Amino acid sequence: MEGDGLVRIDCHTHFYPAGYLREIERRSDHVTLVRDEAGNLVLHYAGDYNVLAPAHHSLEARVEDMARAGIDMAILSLTTPGIHVERPDRARALARVVNEQFAEIQRTYPHRFRCLATLPLETPEVAAYELERAVRELGLVGAMVFSNVNGRPIDAPEFWPVFEAAEALDVPLMIHPTAPAFADYLSDYRLVALLGFAYDTTMVAVRMVLGGVLDRFPRLTVIQTHLGGTLPYLAERVQRGYRAYPELRGRLQRDPMDYFREMYLDTVLFDPACLLLGLAFVGEDRLLLGSDHPHQIGDIERAPRVIEELPISPHAKRKILADNALRLFRILPAHGDF
């Protein structure tokens, strides 16, 4: 908290720019924006919905929440359902709206926010161009892509132009889960968010490795959200299977575990035992503070506290809370920013 000397950068936190909400309310084939009985905006889409807190769309509310939780800076991204659920021409227009408003947020609050680009992923060549525009012209610090695009896993070859662009620009891609292709089986009990997201995160991390994506793009920087889903728990099984199954053995330049441990993970699991497993898995240089704020399931206040209370060195805590993000997103704070 204030005066403790620690800097905190929230790398997994979401925002809906006003222009995006206006456009969705005006016309969308796949998203419905309504108000519930309490007056909250609710964004419905296939498989799930988001109840919008004030900090989802008000920068003033967001800054107040960050101050209360002791968060110095946030890396903003759009969130589910993304824009790839719209028709291609509509998705392109929404990408420009979102990214230009994100750039304006960075200019208005240079000490508070950096932003990840939103991409029209259903047309990968256009998405690659928009990523280049967002980074080179607008100054965004990377992009958030989804684990699947209308049912197609993001590692599929048609999406490789996006990876190629990110590698050439030397910016990270945050891979965020969305409803799995089998979401019909998860329609009860909010299981898309509770279990489906963890499945899709784990699935795409393993597919990117076993499919050779990270051999083809060796300088690509990947951030897996929600502590990698179940990856730290299951990676040993994948490694064992790679060595045991002849149809897998020898396909890669290195063992799967080597690639897994080069990925970044955010800390959007708030169980200390899980965080210690993630830390043991990728090491203190590749964990990033994340809150999933302001979603109902996020927790902006608990996210930094659980890191600060872990039985690890102060040096490791500083890396996870801020130093890794400062390095990864090339944030050069001016004197007195933090």
- Indicate whether 202 belongs to any domain: yes
Quick one: how far is CA 253 from the chain centroid? 27
Question: Residue 299: what pLDDT?
Answer: 97
| pLDDT score recorded for residue 1 | 55
**How high is the pLDDT of residue 334?**
61
Q: What is the pLDDT of residue 3?
A: 56
Q: What is the CATH number of the domain that holds 215?
A: 3.20.20.140
Residue 254 is given by DSSP the state: S
Residue 147, CA distances (Å) to 138, 166, 228 in order = 25, 16, 12
Indicate whether 49 belongs to any domain: no
Q: Is residue 114 assigned to a domain?
A: yes
Instruction: Indicate whether 199 belongs to any domain.
Output: yes
**Contacting residues for 142 by C-beta, under 8 A, at least 6 apart:** 116, 117, 135, 166, 171, 172, 173, 174, 329
Check the CA dihedral 168-169-174-179 and report its sign: negative
Predicted confidence at residue 28, as pLDDT, reads 85
Sequence-separated (6 or more) residues with CB below 8 Å from residue 103: 115, 134, 138, 139, 140
What end-to-end distance do the CA atoms of the chain give, in Å?
12
- 151 contacts 201 by C-beta, under 8 angstroms: no
Residue 72 placed within a domain: yes
Q: Is residue 239 part of a domain?
A: yes
Q: In this structure, is residue 36 part of a structural domain?
A: no
In a domain, 28, yes or no: no
Domain tally for the chain? Answer: 1
Range of the domain at 264: 9-16+55-328
Tokens for 5, please give them.
């000397």
- Secondary structure string (H, E, C) spanning 206-251: HHHHHCCHHHHCCCCCEEECHHHCCHHHHHHHHHHHHHHCCCCCCC
Paired residues of 73 in beta bridges: 9
Tens of pLDDT, residue by residue, the chain (338 residues)? 555 778 999 999 999 999 999 988 888 888 888 888 888 888 888 777 888 889 999 999 999 999 999 999 999 999 988 899 889 999 999 999 999 999 999 999 999 999 999 999 999 999 999 999 999 999 999 999 999 999 999 999 999 999 999 999 999 999 999 888 887 778 788 888 889 899 999 999 999 999 999 999 999 999 999 999 999 999 999 999 999 999 999 999 999 999 999 999 999 999 999 999 999 999 999 999 999 999 999 999 999 999 999 999 999 999 999 999 999 999 986 655 76
